[in-house]
Amino acid sequence: MKLYFVLILIMIFPIVLSAHDGDDRDDKDDHKREKIIISSQVIHSINSNYQKDIKPIFKKKCFDCHTSKPNYPWYVNVPGLGYIMREHNREGVEHLDLTNDFPFKGKEGDIVEILDEIVEEAVEEDEMPPWYFKITHWDACLTDQEKEVITKWIESSKAKIRR
Ligand code: HEC
């Protein structure tokens, strides 16, 4: 029972954090903004589908730049390359942080906006992974099938959040 409580706390923590992230400047308008409150059951359900279907894709194609503990290849030790990779990682994590699974942290405000941003950048516009990553990782493009899996997961997650 105690463990369950701790787990719920751990799951809620990132949401509380992201609610306080960023927009400090319009603290006064805080009460006007709608806050998304997601129950821990919903988070758990979305996260378990994430871990099963989506995380393996993201791990291969996004984690190098979007987690704070990337698994760099050996050539991170090549002078210059390491610097570039760490810079991409620093910027990538700042925009979208996948380190602690769902709910992700991001620059774009609430979790629904972050999910929309993923569909837009990675599925619709093919902007992610960036071109410079794709030319050095020939298999980094998202396949049509992966795009479909990601889109479906995001659609069903948003439906669960809105319910
Ligand atoms: C080589 C590094 C790199 C890889 C790999 C990468 N990204 Fe990014 N990503 C970035 C950087 C840098 C930014 C911030 C600048 C920009 O938007 O171009 C970013 C921004 C984003 C954003 C916009 C976040 C926002 O709200 O500003 C999304 C969404 C995103 N990435 C998703 C993904 C997904 C999904 C993958 C894997 C399929 C991926 N990225 C792979 C470097 C990367």
Ligand 1 atom having least distance to the Cα of 142: 38
Give the model confidence (pLDDT) of 96-130 as tens digits: 999 999 999 998 789 999 999 999 999 999 999 99
Percent of the chain with pLDDT over 70: 79
Domain boundaries, the chain: 46-162
pLDDT at 16: 45
pLDDT tens-digit map of 21-54: 444 444 444 444 567 889 999 999 999 999 999 9
Measured by CA distance, the residue closest to atom 7 of ligand 1 is 129
Residue 8 in this model has a pLDDT that exceeds 70: no
129 Cβ contact list (under 8 Å, min separation 6): 61, 62, 65, 122, 137, 140, 141
Place of tokens 């805080």: 30
If you take atom 10 of ligand 1, which residue's CA is the nearest one? 92
The pocket around ligand 1, CB under 6 angstroms, is made up of 58, 61-62, 64-66, 88, 91-92, 95-96, 106-108, 117-118, 121-122, 128-130, 133, 142
